[in-house]
Amino acid sequence: MSHKRIDRVPPQSAFKRSSERHRALALLAAFPDGSTEALLLAHGFSIEMMAELIRDGHANAQAERAMAGGRTIEITRVRITDTGRRALVERAK
């Protein structure tokens, strides 16, 4: 299994990164209970993007247990913060 090192991933343009951050925050804002990491990945957001939102204080993540197929699994739920909501409003202006 090959893994890309973060320092080898070509940098995105600032505009594209900003647009993707906005799209991620808008998705998180649409779900009052937050979104699972798996759903964010399915929407095309990378782990690095999620980590950036968390590091910048725009989102937070919490591990939770859930039942699936009669088994207990651990999921990560990501929620937008008040800072993230303010960033959405500022960008909309």
pLDDT in tens, 26-82: 999 999 999 999 999 999 999 999 999 999 999 999 999 999 999 999 999 999 999
On whether the CB atoms of residues 56 and 81 are closer than 8 A, the answer is no
d(CA 61, CA 59) in angstroms, rounded, equals 7
What 3-state class would DSSP assign to 67? strand
CB 58 within 8 A of CB 80: yes
Domains and CATH numbers, the chain: 14-92 (1.10.10.10)
pTM over 0.85, yes/no: no
